[in-house]
Amino acid sequence: MRDSSNRHRGLPPRTPELLYNVVRKFYRGAVSHYDLIQEKKQEAYACFEQMQATGDDQPLRAALATLFLEFHFYTTCWLQIELALYRLARQDERLAKVMDTFRTALETHVAVREQLEQTEACVAAQFAAGSSGLSCVGVERDAYLFDRFTFTVDETSLAQLHALFAAVEEQRTMSTSEKA
């Protein structure tokens, strides 16, 4: 099984056209998933408020598990974009610069995705971070804890994704016009 740390080893060769299609496909997937994630965050917050009133954390734990599965899909899209961009960057110096520009965002999303492989542990970590038994700091602040990262899928993440895709598309357009 390929994990995050060795994800670039032994990748089969792909044509630039196919790799650009991969970027496009997973960009659209992540963008289309954004609204659903916001809905699930609202549901988690409602469960948080319910927990504050009743003391029962089970509905919140279930809502967080669902939310984190949605985060997993979103960050998997980022991973697939990163893998395609990695291969494109090996073929084109301009795309290597794009990858360098977005390295922090890419690495953050990929690292969070790796944490999300253990959904229940991620849910438990949200409660461990709070100072009281009825605390769940991530839900309160929309800033969830994943190992060394505080993360959420928000406008900032979506803006990074849009900017990354625009930069890749700009290079694809330039490459296409150079060939013509």
Contact in structure between 34 and 158 (CB atoms under 8 Å): yes
Domains of the chain, residue spans: 15-174
Average pLDDT over residues 79-106: 95
The predicted structure's pLDDT at residue 5: 54
Whether the pLDDT of residue 61 is over 70: the answer is yes
- Is-contact 144 126, C-beta < 8 A? yes
Which pair of structure tokens corresponds to residue 30? 């992540």
Residue 137, pLDDT score = 76
Contact present, 94 and 32 (Cβ < 8 Å): no
What pLDDT does 1 receive?
Answer: 38
Q: How far apart are CA 170 and CA 172, in angstroms?
A: 5
The 10s digit of each residue's pLDDT in 115-145 is 999 999 999 999 875 555 556 878 989 999 9
Backbone angles phi, psi at 145, to 5 degrees: -95, 125
Q: What is the pLDDT of residue 53?
A: 94
Residue pair 102/167 in contact (Cβ under 8 Å)? The answer is: yes
